[in-house]
Amino acid sequence: MAQKLLIEVEKRDGFLGADSVRDSQGLGITVSYWSTIEAIEKWKNDTLHCQGKDRGKKQWYEEYTIRICTVEYEHSFP
């Protein structure tokens, strides 16, 4: 499902990218980046995404948290 969602989300207007990591016990975090709050809302309500969320609640996750934040500054070191 994650691979199907990644393929689909990459086609969406406003999607800028995503980072995801998991530890050996399956605990993980995924951060997706979007150009606008409207683009986030469209993805939130996307049919395939909703199916994935429903399946996640039933099969894969005991809990999860969604946070919508604004990046004010970014700095990288090569």
In a domain, 66, yes or no: no
Q: For 53, how many CA atoms within 13 A lie in the half-sphere containing its CB?
A: 11
Contacts of 43 (CB under 8 A, 6+ apart): 9, 12, 15, 32, 34, 49
Q: What is the pLDDT of residue 3?
A: 87
In a domain, 31, yes or no: yes
The model carries a pTM of 0.81
Q: For 19, how many CA atoms within 13 A lie in the half-sphere containing its CB?
A: 2
Which pLDDT tens digit goes with each residue over 8-66?
Answer: 999 999 999 999 999 998 788 989 999 999 999 999 999 999 999 999 899 988 888 89
Q: 30 lies in which domain range? A: 2-60
Q: What is the pLDDT of residue 60?
A: 87
In a domain, 47, yes or no: yes
In a domain, 27, yes or no: yes
Confidence of residue 7 (pLDDT cuts 50, 70, 90): very high
Amino acid at 66: I
**Number of domains making up the chain:** 1
**Residue 36's domain is classified under what CATH number?**
3.30.70.100
